[in-house]
Structures are given as structure tokens and as C-alpha cells.
Structure 1
């Protein structure tokens, strides 16, 4: 242990330009991360720093709070003074770094020009680094909640390493071998550390066998499997929020190219019942007025123009006031929405009580980004944004990670929360950067929650409207937040490294691989039939087969008690899910709460874009409404007279044809489907709220 302390002291003394009250060391670059530690004497809280490489800002306002057992052993508090951030692949001129190149890494006190530490580092390629690595390790204990083991480098047994943790072959997180291990010391494998322990949220992945691996920095891989038998707890959802009760608010200031794309995406992927409000903050660019005028044909779109520039926060506040009692959904003009984005946000908003805000994941939204944290997430070659968004949604787990704040690039806000805690603080954040964090922290103190919608992906270009003022605005906003909310730093630290968020990013990596399968990009259509025999099921199967090159076809059928969901794969229907209904569908009431809850869950889980109802017999009359609330386009085909009479041939029990004219009805009819209980069509239609009424949620109807 004394040798570890002396080494730390030596590192501290060799660091140049370090104030005497600062202790620490920039260890170097490992696994593409800049790694080190820094501590201010007499201060227990971790420092917040900006990191620069050869004068290029690499990371701003990062909190040096990684746990380092070697630092703790050296007597520096609890050892939570480590830092790491991704090393950029190119220098400030866009040129790739060269093996053996010397660079200056500088740490500054966040938001200030004060240099805390700087050090020259020689860059080495992974091939060069591998020559001094000979790693060994073990996975000693693996459960559905944690992994315990050890990793060391035989060539340097005091080295702190970062091993990759893979779940089912996909990167999940990095693990430091910084846990004290006296047994490794006795074996000569360590100078004190070497132990690895990480939490694992395997239950969130579902029941079954899962493989967990440790991949060492030299490429070696060790694996173990574990059987997960339990289910992940999910809170009971709250009341549904209708899309018509929401309004999208887009503040605009210049950036005409971004605005044009934003409008195009809103037109394509926003339900027509959702209000859209563009608020032009007195943009001097004349293209903005022309674009917004041309977009007036978008359903429910309104345009307001500020008489003078109010700034970002004032413009948003005006928009939220203009939409009345609707739930606002803030959307930056440089954001690009994707299919089912509204339905996704609303599903997250009702996933538990008192949800204040919901933010989707993105390619460039800092801590809300996936697959990687930060602002540099490109698409696989040849893959477009809509294809990736579909693949992302289909891989997503719907965990809805809880976070301390949302991100205003795209953020749902519950109107009740807005009423309780007030609007954005325009005085403290007139031009933005920090206004949504302040709002969310106020809401959090009032008992509201903030969630990430890990099933929805919205692309983002980041702050073109602010231009060169961005960095100054960011630093000023962060200073206000830190002063108002001392708990903010710790809350952000916990959220950024949360297991649910790591799982969401892992699933995003899997979705990138899924994009290589061309069928992944196909929109999903769910066909609904009542029986397995007769003309309708056969013609439906023919339709599914004919469209299989352009649609991913699924089938929902029910015989009143047995509810089955199937997927057309290689020309054959494969059962995916089923449910035996204890509350079956019967022809008089024609509604089952159990059916509704089951199908609503499937609609959300499997992300259908179109629901084509071929027949409603033995299905709940609420199905069209459930599909619409899930963001689906609903199509209804009329094959017979079931929507106006339980006897599809319009016959009375005595065989007399009454033709659907209730004035000509002299007896009762027996339903063609379900229980043979005689009834009169007016009673059947009225008690079931009318099969005709269910068609009001359909986008199109066809008479066949």
C-alpha cells in the first residue's frame, strides 16, 4: 500500500503547472478514454472541470467523481476524484492523431480560464499498447443483479484497467479493476487493487439464459451464463393522454434549412389531431417567413411571430401560454422527428404517476444520446434516419429511465406540473441553456418525475441558432443551476451512469446491427380477423403475402376466449404471443377489459404503424380507439353487415330477410358469431356503443 501512495505522490510532483492546492495525475489514454484523477486540498466535493487537448475543448463541465481505490488508499477522502472522457479521433484541424505524437492535456476549473493541471502525453495506437498488456482475470460470481471478479495486467500488476462488459455479445459498460483484493496481492497478481464488481440489470432483459462477458484491453474474452427467472417490476400505468390534448411548440430563430426539415418531418409523422405551433422569434432571415407560410397546409398548424426578439426562453413561454390547457411538447427547430414519436412520448408519460417531463433519446443530445453518450452518433453506412428509428423502437425495452432533468430539444411537459411549479425562468435564462434544467429541478423538489423515453429516437443538430455564443451560454446557465441546486451535480452523476440508461444504449447498439437486415426497415401492419376459416382469413393471408416485400405483416385473431398474435415469417404464420381471456368477448356487450389491456400492451410493444381490421367479430369494439391512441393508422374493411346487425345476413330468427331496415324488423335475430343469444339489433348496437361508432377512429374504410 505504501508503494501505491509513493507512486501517487510522484505523479503529483511530475505534473507541470499544477497549483499547490491541487493533487492529481493525468494517467494517459486507455481504451480511447483520457483517464486521471484530480483533488483540491481541503475540499471533499469532487471538482468540476473542462478538459482540453492541445487547446481543443474535448469535454466541458465534467465532474471528477469516478471512484479510484488507489486514490482512496493514498488518503484522498473516499477516492471519488477520478475522471474519464472520450479522446477525439482528430486534432483541432480535423487531422487524425499519429502514433507517438505528443499532445498537451489541460484541465481547467469548469467555466473559467484557470488551469488546474496540464501534462504532455504520448499517444500510442492500440497495437502499440497491446504489446505491453498480458491480461488475466476471472468471473467469480454472476447473478441477475451483479458480477464479481478480477482483472490484472501481468506486465504491470499495479495498473488500473478498464474491461468491457458485454451482455449477449453486445457492449454494455466498462468496468474498472479498482476494488481492493488482498488475495491477488498474495499471489503477486496485484499491488492492492484488481477487483471488479458491477451491477447488472439482467431482469430487465426478460426471462431466459443470458451470457455476460469481460473483454480485457488486450482482447482476451471470458464469459459466463446466468438464468433469469424473475420478471422486471413495472408500475401500473396511469390514465391515457390523448394526442388531441397535446400541442407541439417549435421556437424558431433563423436556421432556415433546419426549419424546413423539421416541418417536413412534422408533416409526415405527427397525428393530425395534435396542434402544432411555430413561434418565430423575429428572425431576420426572410426565408423563415416564407417557409412558415408555405407550411400552413399542415393540419392544426399555427404560426405566431414575436414583434421583437424575446429570446429562446421567452418565446417558449409564449408558446406554452398560447396552447391553453394542452400538454406542451417542446421541439427545437433543428430536431427531426420519426414515426410514432407522439405515441411514444405519451406512453412514457403515463407509465407511472406524477410524470412531469419525457425526453426521447437522440444522436446528439448529450447524456440523452445513444448508442454512445455525447454528441457524435453516426448511422451505419447506407442506413437512413427512419430505418434506424424503427429498428431502435423495436429493440427498445420500454424501461423509461428516471432522470433528474429533461432536455428541451424535445420534451413533453405535463400541464398539471406546469400549473404547479410555473413556467420557465426567463430572467435567469433569457436565451436558453439551463432553463429546462431549472424547471425540472423545481418540479423534482415538488415530487414530480422526469423520464427518458427509451423507445423513441429523435434526431438533433444542436444549437445552430446560438452560433458562437453557445459555450458562454452553457457555462453561465450551469453556474446558475449549481448555485440554486447543490444536489444537481450528484443527481447528474448518478443518472449518467444508471443501469437502465446503459441498457437503453446497449439496445441501440443492437439496433444498429439490426439495420443490416432490410426487413427491419419495413413498416409493420397488423391485420385483424375473427375466424381461421372462410373467405376473409384466406383473402387476408393472400393480401399479407402480396405485400410482404413492402410491409412487415402480423395477424391478430380471437375466438372470444383465445387471443393470438402471429407474425408472417417466410410465408408462414408464427405465434408470438397469446392470452386466454377469463373475461371473454360476447356479442352483446362486445367489450372486455382484459382484452383491451392485453392488446394495448401488444400495440405498444410491437410498434405497428397500421392496423387493418378485416372483421371485428370476437374483438373488442374499443380496438380502433386503442390502435389510434398507440399512434397507428387504422383501416376498416367491411365484408358483411356486422356493424349494423349481429346477423351478418340481415335475417330474423324466423328466416325473414329484413334488409337492415329496423322499421321492417318483426322478430329477434341470432348473432352469426359467438353465443346464440337472440337479440334485437337496436339492443345490440346500443349496448355495445355501436360497432359503427368504433369506425370514427379509422383513417380509411373499405367496402369489400
Structure 2
């Protein structure tokens, strides 16, 4: 994607989380006793009144099929107003509250709460994290799929099948290896989509999908009861006030036979560094030293995960869905190669014309490794930060491409070239376009519908004159580069059916139209010369008698 912004940080930052108004607490249900809950949501609290109250309210106000209760731990907060609010709301029966007599730090506060869980699974939820929708049900569906109230489907291959789940972490703007949109980063910039809607989008496009991770991230981490029973609490002796304790626990879980998962169908907002603050005392360095002492393989595990990046396809689905949502019903979709040249020049001219008419253009551009890659073609204030747009491999990803085209609902799909695609991929793409229900057009930039070499020139350099199929078979048989091409009869039949379904077929010249009609006599072809911007051309008349005029014809085919 390209735009006027030099970097995503130029888009600003999310506004701070604000405390709910007093009346917003009135209709919340009373908290279940821990004994009646299936999951205990643990929220350690220190600072950040607005963030803490918003985080607790968001958790309590989202209905779940999973019976849960919330347990807040006030770690001797220095904010008397926050302490009073917590006591008041807990007194109304909205959640459970324990108050530390002295400041214990994050790890010991969590362990105190874990001691009260009564054998239940827990979610560690930071007091600056905001959940949306049926977030907990979706985490449970990954953690305990056999008993989940609404288990998802369609998980990625290789997600630790056969291993019990230890932890599940959702996507978030600020969750290192679980971050979106930019991987392994703190995404402070607001997107064009509201956070609750982004979560709903993740639930839709990544339904039931998860990938194994070397470690969960403690801002919002589901910990199964079985793993807690086997692994135990967080290591307070090694990690003091924090920084590395959840990584240690997850690695211990892996070594005990569990798998940690990233839930790609849940998005939770994380403000970051609010409640327990910035690292002013060097705890991070101490925590990392303790982590390496216990798990010398930790950097290698995380490094290998970052390099492989198995979550990139899930992030790419979200990027494509956001792109389609933003331009739905008001974009042209162009299909073309990435070789540059005359087609690219023509498309650039058409993009300029479309923008002048108030339309945006999205490109499905065939990359040089013979895949299909989605590009945003515009440069305007309508900047979308889409760092994960990835290649789609056809025919494998035909269903995902069809979903994208369906969501985009383009005004017109204009196919300019399929050059560079293997035949199976080209057929899959034609099937997606023809089956989209959207009008589509084709411009005859070359002779690919009738010639596997695209230009009617045989391997020995001779012009074939648009030969009959039998002669094309002979040409294909001696073409060293044609080993993946279909039988010429099949090519002409498939392209003929596809062109017959087009709303318009354009030819840049009457000569091209005449030649293509020799193969497809019933095909209506509209002659439409390419756009040619006006240019001042110097007089080419001969200045002196007897001079010879020489004409140079440019272009690789020439």
C-alpha cells in the first residue's frame, strides 16, 4: 500500500481509555461465585483509574456463553480515588476484590489470585486492556475445543494437534509477537476501523484459526486449568515485580507437554504500560536475565518463530478485509502482470482517469514468482496501513480471493493480462472473476487467449499468422518454455467461454479486433484505442531534398 504518509506513526495515537459514566454500571449482572464459574478473569490493579475502570466494565458488559467471574487484585494502589471506586463497585456485587496490605508487585498479586481460583481456568487481563464481543467464548473454543460453547472451525494446519493447550493469547495492537497490524511491534496509531469492529472482523475472517507460539503475552492470556495444575503458579522468586514471568510459565508449559496458541480470531486492545507503569527500576533487565538463566533456548525459540512468522496469513486476511471494507462498492478492480511496459502505462492512465471520476482502483497484480499479489494503487489522503498484504497462491487460495472480491464488490473487474500465471492459476482466477457476480471486462493487450506465447511469434522468430490449433500444437511441442501450457484447443475453449461472459471486450485497434474474431467469430469486440495524452511533436518533414527518412520501432516484441 502506498500513500502520502511517510510512516504509520504519522497517523497519531489512540485516545486514552476513559472511565465509564456512573450510569453505565447500573445494568451489569452480579458476579458469579468463583465456585460457579468456569473461568476466572484476574485483573491486577495498581494505577490508571480511567483505563482500569474501562477494562473492568468492558469485560463485565460483554455477554458470554462461558460462565465466568472477575477477580480484581488491588496491589496497594497509590490512587485513592481508584481504590474507592474498586471497593464501591465490588461492594455492589459486580466483581470480586482482594486488596493487598502492602505492594506485592504484579507477579505476587497474580499468584495471590491464582490461589483463589478453585481449580478453574483463568485469564490474566491487564487493567489497560479492552475486550470486545464474545471474546472469552472464542478463547475457550481454542483452549478447550471439545467443551467450548461455540467452538470455531477452520484452524491452521500444524497448530499442535494432539497436544493439550496451555495458554491462548489474542491478537492485539500491542502484544509483541501477537501484534496487529505490524508484527512484533507496538501499534500506537489508530486505524480507519473502530476497535470493536476490528474484533468482529477477526472473528469472521479468521474464524477458529490459531497458530502455535513459543510464548503467550500476559496482557490477556488464557491459562487452562490442566496447565495450571501441571505447571503451577508464576515464578515470583525469579521475576520479582514482573517482566518475563508469563514467558517462563509458557516455556514450562511447553516442556510439560502443552502448546501455547495465538488466537487469530480475537482482537483485544492494549494501551500498554499504564497500570504497573514504565520500567524505572531496571526490572526488565533483571527479568530477562532470569528468563535466560532458566531457559537458555528462549531467544532461539522466539527468533525462529519471528523468522517463520506463521501468523502472517491471518494478518493478511485482516488487511484484505479492511481494504475491501474501505472501498466496498466504490472501486475498480484491475488484474494485470507486473512486467511494466505498455500495459502498465495504459493502467496508469486509466487510474488517473478513474480518480478524476471519484473512483479508487485496487490491483490484483501477478508477481514475478507467478503468484497473485494484492496491491493498493492509489496515492491520496485515504491512507490505509496494510503492512501484511501477502501473495495469494492460486488455485490454493482461490476461496480467499473469491471472499475478497465478494467483500470488495467492485464496480467493474477489468482484466488486462494474466501473463505470468501458470495455467491452473489462470483458470482459477478466471473462475473467481466469472463467478463473482460482478461485471467484468477484458482488454486485448496481447493474444494470450489464442497463443501461449502471447504475441503470435514462434520460437524461431517467425510470425505464425494466428495459426490453426494443429499448427499451434506443433509450436508448443518445440517450445522449451511451454512445458506448463495447456493444449491449444483447451486454451481457446476456456478463454472463449470467459470472454463470452464479459460485459465488454476491448481491442486497442481494429486490426486486433479482426484477428481475434477469426477465432471467436461471435464475440463482440469494442475497438477502443488507448488513452494518448496530447503532446507537442516537432515537425518531421525533411529539411533537405534527397535525405532518407529512417523510422525506428520501439518495444521488445518489435
> Which TM-score band applies after superposition, normalised by the shorter structure?
0.3 to 0.5
Which is richer in strand? 1
TM-score (norm 2): 0.48
